[in-house]
């Protein structure tokens, strides 16, 4: 193991991920908000630093967004080779920055890119990585407690990185608290010049094709999710959920049991091995509420459960519960909503 002086490593870094349109992604904002909470425990001398790797265009919108969401400082590397995401060049640039600036912590979103990028960086700078965290804290020795489910979600592991730096982790989108942006906040911008070598690039992204869901909306973007489980009995019964989702302007999700049965695509799966969602309304139909399912939806604002077993664990997290047969309740609910829309003139 590489010997380092831990005292030299300071500040909480958050990797500022952009989407293909150059907008800062939601999980970066959630991480900045979490980093602020960590900073409160560590003291003001530990700064929250956003790290932006980007092309040579205007960065003012991105830096404004990062400052508004909690960054005290923004370390920027601008280079024409960083215009689009590249595994090799982004990892190289981040490793160079770590060697140069010595951060104590580095938090990265567990997005497709974050999952590609984080392990490469941690391996190259000889540190550990806790992947897919659901909570972050500071322990009594001032170390990052990276908390994540383990043993199939039945236990929470609290993982420390005692001897190497930075303390690195990835965190799933939508499991941490959403920040309230403050656009009056200012951050110091530190532009770091860097040489990068194009010959490092082994693969290139030629085009970005967003995934299209047949029902029009993915569960990650939906503010209303109607999810079904094994209790729905067959794939045909998911049509009822689609009707209700259409009336409410939402998307259809599924438990793993429904996906494993082949009733829904894996893209619709909510839970530990599926997507983490945080909609305004989550309606769980014929879903028992196993801990692995709850891991993906318990941060929803309002949860409604429909289950014929009054003792189903889903009722423990539900704000509203309906005990009964989902196949009777869902069409009745859809009908009521249609009638209400007609009565209020909201029907299209
Ligand atoms: P069940 O547990 O079988 O529940 C069906 C429910 O439907 C019951 O509560 C029953 O009372 C009710 N019901 C039956 N008929 C009706 C009816 N007519 N009307 C109303 N209610 C009815 N699961 C996930 O969902 N997502 C994950 O990402 C995930 N990851 C996992 C990862 C690991 C490592 C492991 C070990 C498991 C994972 N699971 C996951 C599986 C999880 O443990 C459960 O097995 C699964 O969530 C159960 O799905 P379900 O609630 O649809 O089915």
- Residue-wise pLDDT tens digits, 280-307: 999 999 999 999 999 899 889 999 999 9
Distance 101 CA to ligand 1 centre (A): 47
Mutate to test the pocket of ligand 1, among 271, 284, 285, 313 (most ligand atoms within 8 A of CB): 271
- Adjacency order of strands within the sheet including 155-159: 135-138, 144-150, 155-159
Rounded to the nearest 5 degrees, what angle is found at the Cα of 111, between the Cα atoms of 8 and 104?
5
For residues 313 and 182, what is the distance between their CA atoms, to the nearest angstrom?
39
Full DSSP string of 227-294: EE-GGG-SGGGHHHHHHHHHHHT-EEEE-HHHHHTTSS-GGGBBSTTSB----SEEEEES----HHHH
CA distances from 337 to 97, 99, 244, 304, 326 (A): 55, 58, 8, 15, 16
Q: Which two tokens stand for residue 54?
A: 């980007």
Cβ–ligand 1 distance for 38 under 6 Å, the answer no
Cβ–ligand 1 distance for 221 under 6 Å, the answer no
Cβ–ligand 1 distance for 298 under 6 Å, the answer no
Cβ–ligand 1 distance for 36 under 6 Å, the answer no
**The predicted structure's pLDDT at residue 216:** 67
Cβ–ligand 1 distance for 271 under 6 Å, the answer yes
User: In 258-269, which positions are buried (b, 16+ CB within 10 angstroms) versus exposed (e)?
Assistant: bbebebbeeebb
**The predicted structure's pLDDT at residue 106:** 98
Distance 277 CA to ligand 1 centre (A): 17
Cβ–ligand 1 distance for 322 under 6 Å, the answer no
**181 neighbors 69 (Cβ within 8 angstroms):** yes
Cβ–ligand 1 distance for 261 under 6 Å, the answer no
> Which of the residues in the chain have pLDDT under 70?
1, 211-216, 348
Question: Which 3 state secondary structure label does DSSP give 89?
Answer: helix
**The predicted structure's pLDDT at residue 344:** 87
Q: How far apart are the first and last CA of the chain?
A: 65
Cβ–ligand 1 distance for 259 under 6 Å, the answer no
**The predicted structure's pLDDT at residue 45:** 92
Cβ–ligand 1 distance for 284 under 6 Å, the answer no
Q: Which two tokens stand for residue 129?
A: 């990585």
Nearest atom within ligand 1 for CA of residue 230:
52
Please, what sign has the CA dihedral across residues 273, 274, 278, 280?
negative
Nearest atom within ligand 1 for CA of residue 228:
52
For residues 300 and 175, what is the distance between their CA atoms, to the nearest angstrom?
10
Distance 226 CA to ligand 1 centre (A): 15
Question: Which 3 state secondary structure label does DSSP give 149?
Answer: strand
Given the DSSP bridges, would you call strands 129-133 and 302-307 parallel, antiparallel or unpaired? unpaired
């Amino acid at each position: 193991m590489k010997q380092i002086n831990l005292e030299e490593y300071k500040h909480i870094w958050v990797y500022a991920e952009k989407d293909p349109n150059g907008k800062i992604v939601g999980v970066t904002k959630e991480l900045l908000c979490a980093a602020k909470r960590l900073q409160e425990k560590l003291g003001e001398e530990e700064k929250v630093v956003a790290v932006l790797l980007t092309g040579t265009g205007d960065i003012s919108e991105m830096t404004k967004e990062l400052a508004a969401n909690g960054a005290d400082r923004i370390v920027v590397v601008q280079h024409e080779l960083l215009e689009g995401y590249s595994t090799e060049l982004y990892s190289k640039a981040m490793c160079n920055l770590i060697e140069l600036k010595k951060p104590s912590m580095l938090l990265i979103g567990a997005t497709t890119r974050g999952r590609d990028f984080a392990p490469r960086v941690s391996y190259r700078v000889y540190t550990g990585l806790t992947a897919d965290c659901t909570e972050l804290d500071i322990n009594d020795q001032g170390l990052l407690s990276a908390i994540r489910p383990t043993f199939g979600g039945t236990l929470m592991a609290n993982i420390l990185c005692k001897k190497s730096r930075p303390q690195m982790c990835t965190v799933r989108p939508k499991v941490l608290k959403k920040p309230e942006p403050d656009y009056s906040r200012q951050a110091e911008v530190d532009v770091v010049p860097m040489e990068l070598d194009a010959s490092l690039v082994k693969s290139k992204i030629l085009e970005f094709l967003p995934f299209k869901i047949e029902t029009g909306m993915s569960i990650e973007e939906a503010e209303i999710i109607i999810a079904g489980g094994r209790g729905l009995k067959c794939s045909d019964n998911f049509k009822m959920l689609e009707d209700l989702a259409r009336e409410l302007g939402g998307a259809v999700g599924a438990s793993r049991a429904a996906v494993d049965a082949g009733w829904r695509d894996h893209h619709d799966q909510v839970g530990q091995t599926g997507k983490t969602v945080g909609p305004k309304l989550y309606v769980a139909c014929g879903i028992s509420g196993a801990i692995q399912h709850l891991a993906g939806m318990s941060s929803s604002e309002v949860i409604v459960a429909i289950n014929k077993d009054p003792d189903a664990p889903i009722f423990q997290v539900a704000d509203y519960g309906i005990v009964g047969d989902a196949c009777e309740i869902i069409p009745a609910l859809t009908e009521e909503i249609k009638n209400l829309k007609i009565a209020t003139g909201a029907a299209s």
